Structure 1
Amino acid sequence: MSTALEVTGFFMCVASWLVTGISLANDYWKISSNSGNVIISNRQYENLWHSCAESSTGVADCRDFQTMLALPGHIQACRALMIIALIFGLVSIIVSTMGLKCIKIGAAKDESKGKLAVSGGILFILAGLCTMVATSWYAARVIQEFHNPFFGGIKFELGSGLYIGWAGAVLSILGGSFLCSAFKRISKAKPKGAYYPSGKPATIYTAAPVSNPDTARAYV
């Protein structure tokens, strides 16, 4: 059961890494709102890298953000968190592959493989938390601007890229938790006993007590 749980968690983590990458590349992190009395002839949407405007004919014109230093702080932080999540995920996939019980690499012991699996699971959990913080922070800013009556710019709504990112974060956290079940293999490891050169514990002989004092003097 433990092996099946670890393998399930591993595939969930690989899927979460792919989903997180799709979320980062997705153009629709926020989409212009059509609510209100003003009819908007084109749709605008943005992600962490560029903003786009789509006309009624379906032709999109995208413009990359020219400078990073002029961007709002939350966009810079979300970029960094998403990239860190992908790096953590890639490292976790490599480490977890070497730690799976069903994969034999060299003469690695079961205890050491369990430690690798747990390390990979922890990294996947950290990757999921980074993705969750980035997407939730971005969504909070979109919602705040939407409900702000004094905000004079275009009001946006949550896009599909945020929902994909949330799905990847949940998969990463759950998969990492399943991989951490390998801790049972570490805890069940037998403690090391004393070392005997012959491979068997030495036999210790003790002298039997002598009840006759005269016999004891004879041995002396």
Structure 2
Amino acid sequence: MGIVFAPLGLVLVFTAAITPQWREGQARLAMAGPGPPPRSGLKGQGPGIRPGSVEALLLLRSDGLWESCLQVAQSELKQCWPVAGSYQRDPRVRLAQGLVLTSLFLCGTGIVLACIGVRCWSDLPLRGVAATGGLFVVLAGLLSLSALGVYTHNLGRLGMEHPGQPINNPKFPHLSLRPAGSLYFGWLGSCIQVLGGSALLLSFKRPRCPSCPSCPELPACPMCCSCPEINNRPETEVYEVSC
């Protein structure tokens, strides 16, 4: 379970880190569109109305840890750029970046230690090394969970130097921000990391040999000890098992 869950969690957290969908918002931008010339109003009324003279353009804005994107809905017009400005300088964004990078490094190190400790090509595993790898994976999951918690809690205020200020150019309308898909990938991957690391950390216990009935304080293994009450039992069979 640990060997499978730890790499899976690493892949999910890495996917969340490099994608720019940590938060997203929509805004409608009014644009003047083509239409017939205005008709003069009736006598005593105001000027005529030009039908179809205003079109609403739906803009989709998304931000990640290292990249932001702007896309026009229902079209292929999309532009992405590295995070900049007040959003990049926000200490909470920098904290999330540092926690995620540290989490990825610890999880990768833990997976390497776990593979060395499990040693499927050998009869006996290195339990201490495997447990240390599991501890690193658990710490990685907790760090990524902390980064996600900080970002989610301050999602609507990141990059705003003053409360209520738009997140980008003042000419743009206010965007209603909400969590996006990358956050869910990160939450899932972090939880999987904690589960996989806990499995590695807790499952490697030193095996206990059966005790000799005559000397209960001394461990007695049928393969390596000379306890007559164990070795002389006719129903005792010893099998050699190799990985």
Quick check: TM above 0.5? Answer: yes
User: How many angstroms apart in 1 are the aligned matches of 2:78 and 2:88?
Assistant: 24
Identify the residue that residue 24 of structure 2 maps to in structure 1. 31
Tell me which of 138, 144, 169 is aligned to 1:125: 138
Structure having the higher helix fraction is: 1
In structure 2, the CA distance between the partners of 1:11 and 1:70, relative to structure 1 (3 Å rule), is: closer
Q: CA RMSD in A?
A: 2.8
- Identity, in percent, stands at 20
User: How many angstroms apart in 2 are the aligned matches of 1:64 and 1:181?
Assistant: 42
User: How many angstroms apart in 2 are the aligned matches of 1:167 and 1:70?
Assistant: 25
Question: Larger RCO: Structure 1 or Structure 2 (Cα < 8 Å, ≥ 6 residues apart)?
Answer: 1
Tell me which of 123, 140, 144 is aligned to 2:153: 140
Cα distance, 1:183 vs structure 2 = 3.8
Identify the residue that residue 194 of structure 2 maps to in structure 1. 173
Taking the TM superposition and a 5 Å limit, the aligned residue runs for 1:1-220 are: 8-33=1-26, 41-56=58-73, 57-66=75-84, 71-100=89-118, 102-104=120-122, 110=125, 113-142=126-155, 151-153=164-166, 154-185=175-206, 188=208
Residues 30 and 45 in structure 1, CA contact (< 8 A), matched pair in contact too: yes
Structure 1 residues not aligned, in runs of 5+: 1-7, 194-220
TM-score (norm 2): 0.63
Structure having the higher strand fraction is: 2
User: How many angstroms apart in 1 are the aligned matches of 2:102 and 2:150?
Assistant: 16
Cα distance, 1:23 vs structure 2 = 0.7
TM-score (norm 1): 0.69
Residues 115 and 182 in structure 1, CA contact (< 8 A), matched pair in contact too: no
Cα distance, 1:46 vs structure 2 = 0.5
Task: In structure 2, give the amino acid aligned to 1:97.
Answer: C
